[in-house]
Copies of this chain bind each other. A is one copy, B any other.
Amino acid sequence: MSPKNKETQLNQPITEVDRIIHEPARYLIMAYLYVVESADFLFLLRQTGLTKGNLSSHLGKLEKAGYVDIKKKFSGKIPQTLLRLTRDGRVAFDAYRASMKKALADLPNGRK
């Protein structure tokens, strides 16, 4: 009924993973903000390859989660949206990466 090894019990950090960051598009956005500190909408648009609508809505979610700070300015007469990771965002991103690494590591090998 049960498998041979009744003791099998995996660590399950993956079930508690931060869903906000787990979404690949948002991971990517956060990864960019993580390394560049601050960027504008169009930079992220180009780099991530997302559509504008998508980028906008993911940024909205990240803002709502408190992970990014959105500031709207004018650069001359042109509106410009400036994005940066908040401290919380940086912390959450580090935590996500650590927890995923842990989930991905240490799996017994199983059999072929």
Contacts and interface: CB of A to CB of B under 8 A. Distances in A.
Contacts of A111: 37
A53 interface: no
A51 interface: no
A49 B101 CA distance: 22
Interface in A1-25: 1-5, 8-10, 12, 14-15, 17, 22, 24-25
A95 interface: no
Interface residues of A, number: 45
A95 B32 CA distance: 24
B31 A10 contact: yes
A97 interface: yes
> What 4 A-B pairs are tightest by C-beta distance, nearest first?
A3-B36, A3-B39, A35-B108, A35-B110
Interface of A: 1-5, 8-10, 12, 14-15, 17, 22, 24-25, 27-28, 31-32, 34-40, 42-43, 47-49, 75, 80, 90, 97, 100-101, 103-104, 107-112
